[in-house]
Structure 1
Amino acid sequence: MAHLELTHPRPEIAVITLNRPEKLNALSSTLVEELHSTLDTIKNDNDCRVVVLTGAGRGFCAGLDLTDTDSPAASAGLEAPRAGMRWQERIAELTVKLHRLRQPVLAAVNGPAYGGGFALAMASDIRIAASSALFCTQFIKLGLGGCDIGVSYTLPRIIGAGPAFDLILTARTVEADEALRLGMVSRVCADGAVLQDALQIAETLCGYGKFGLESTKQVLWANLEAGSLESALHVENRSQILSSSSGEMRAFVQAFARRKTD
């Protein structure tokens, strides 16, 4: 059985489902490689405009599968510590790929998101959670450092440095309601409804201009690193002018004018 499923409710929307429900979708070496391959495919899919990431069964992703005995392809033929570093980099690169996708990524967190699963959720552009969802960085509990797979970068930018330091250092579990209060997720849904709610958000995004949607994601991430208001405005200004030349704004204005005269 494949460790991951890629489906398209419509050509513009891709749903990636981590599919190891018996392991709470823990990240095996096979699942990591399938996720890399799937993200590469989506990156080159010009029809796809929004991605939804979720898990099968009652979990989103429980993090690294510590019982996985398969040798990672990324470290084949290497000795320690090079082998470990290659595998570490391969897992961490998933967060970079989510970041770089031109399509917005919605994490539909349907259950526990621990360790690497937490990192995947935090690397997504929008996060919504089922009421029973749980979040935990977990890394430091395993005898590792608490900063892994991008969380020391993403989490402080999402919820602020103070709360992020608390969650990373203590590795305490956060329930969905607290995640909402912290701003870790933007909404909490009823259990069993999180994927459907994520698809509704995806439909909303697909109703916007194609270039406008792509450029909005790019500008948001770029301006997290902007050194000044002026630098941020330069990026915004160029994006707006490019958007206005795509023809989509002209079509909107014409449609609006027709409605006004009807």
Structure 2
Amino acid sequence: MTREWNYGDSKYETLVIDDLSFGYRITLNRPQVRNAINQTMVEELTNFMSGIEQDEQVRVLVIQGAGGHFCAGGDLGDMLKAAQDFEQGNPDAFKALNLSYGRLLVQFARLPCTTIALLEGTVMGGGLGFAAVADISLCSASSKLAMPEVSLGLPPAQIAPFVAERIGLNQTRRLALTARKLLAAEALTLGLVDQVAEDSEALGQLLQTELHAIQTCSPKAVRATKKLLVNLSRLGEAKHAELEQQLLEAAEAFNFAVTRGDGPEGTSAFIEKRHPVWVTSHKH
């Protein structure tokens, strides 16, 4: 059956779309900022994935980053724009920004096809969220994965529940509360990624192996199976209200951190390439 329309024909500012004939590959295309997620990217991904939801012939969606990095998390420019909106009288500017990403993660996790995250270089914050909710995460050995938010004075608001579902609450506590960086080998041990390749070429070979297997699968059976599996998780339809409430509470926590907590100091320190005021010398 021929698909009704080709998503690759659409012009995107932050994405590059490749047609795989039985699915698509999305490349996050903001290499100058290590593919940080801005509001335009959120809107474009939401639009693209809405098409995927309606297309019964799509069996796989691959997501990767341009320029040797997967994704560095949220975009600083959006934070600065939200700060201006907040100062001009919008008390929910940061809440709305954070919530839009959480809802995007839910949409990605619920897609009725097999999803593959192809991880290279920087995999941080929001980028780690995609890795956590993908059906299959393939990782280059040189990648560095982290939940760095607390080092910036922020909570990992929207991604923490999804990381916890993938690797368990105890391991998520360690990552979220220390902002420590993981190498790919340790991420594999934790179950945060499924396979590790020595280099980009080997990573591409791992992807081709997965695509070859998926190509033999029935599109309708993939959709039915994905729905069954999603409904076994916290993302299931029966838990929609509970999940939405968690997203809202997470966005409110983020909003508080940025407006009345340590977020402004953490952001300023990051921009100025200095330690925030809470960093102290460790005594042995």
Q: If the TM-score is normalised by the length of the shorter chain, which range does it land in?
A: 0.7 to 0.9
CA 1:203–1:81: 2 relative to 1, 3 Å = farther
- Alignment of structure 1 residues 63-212 onto 2, 5 Å: 63-68=73-78, 71=81, 79-145=89-155, 147-149=156-158, 151-193=159-201, 194-212=203-221
Q: Distance in 2 between matches of 1:2 and 1:70?
A: 20
Q: Which residue does the alignment assign to 2:15?
A: 4
Partner SS for 1:197:
helix
Partner SS for 2:200:
coil
Q: Distance in 2 between matches of 1:67 and 1:224?
A: 34
Greater CA drift, 62-71 or 197-206: 62-71
Q: Which runs of 4+ in 1 moved over 4 A?
A: 68-72
CA 1:25–1:195: 2 relative to 1, 3 Å = farther
Long gaps (5+) in structure 2: 1-11, 236-284
Q: What is the CA distance between 1:165 and its match in structure 2?
A: 0.8
Greater CA drift, 210-219 or 129-138: 210-219
Greater CA drift, 111-120 or 207-216: 207-216
Give identity over the alignment, percent: 30
**Does the 8 A contact of 2:53 with 2:111 survive in 1?**
yes
Q: Residue type matched to 2:229 in 1?
A: L
**Does the 8 A contact of 1:94 with 1:120 survive in 2?**
no
Long gaps (5+) in structure 1: 227-262
Q: What is the CA distance between 1:178 and its match in structure 2?
A: 0.5
Partner SS for 1:67:
helix
CA 1:138–1:19: 2 relative to 1, 3 Å = same
Q: What is the CA distance between 1:190 and its match in structure 2?
A: 2.6
Partner SS for 1:60:
coil
Q: Which residue does the alignment assign to 1:224?
A: 233
Q: Distance in 2 between matches of 1:91 and 1:6?
A: 20
Q: Residue type matched to 1:155 in 2?
A: V
**Does the 8 A contact of 1:110 with 1:133 survive in 2?**
yes
Q: Distance in 1 between matches of 2:52 and 2:233?
A: 24
CA 1:32–1:206: 2 relative to 1, 3 Å = same
Q: Distance in 1 between matches of 2:205 and 2:47?
A: 25
The answer to which structure, 1 or 2, has the higher relative contact order (CA under 8 A, 6+ apart) is 2
Q: What is the CA distance between 1:48 and its match in structure 2?
A: 1.4
Q: Distance in 1 between matches of 2:171 and 2:92?
A: 34
Q: Residue type matched to 1:216 in 2?
A: T
Q: Which residue does the alignment assign to 2:240?
A: none
For the aligned residue pairs, the C-alpha RMSD in angstroms reads 2.3
- TM-score normalised according to structure 2 size: 0.71
**Does the 8 A contact of 2:71 with 2:123 survive in 1?**
yes
Answer with 1 or 2: which has the greater Rg: 1
CA 1:148–1:198: 2 relative to 1, 3 Å = farther
Q: Residue type matched to 2:58 in 1?
A: C
**Does the 8 A contact of 2:38 with 2:75 survive in 1?**
yes
Q: What is the CA distance between 1:214 and its match in structure 2?
A: 1.7
Partner SS for 1:63:
coil
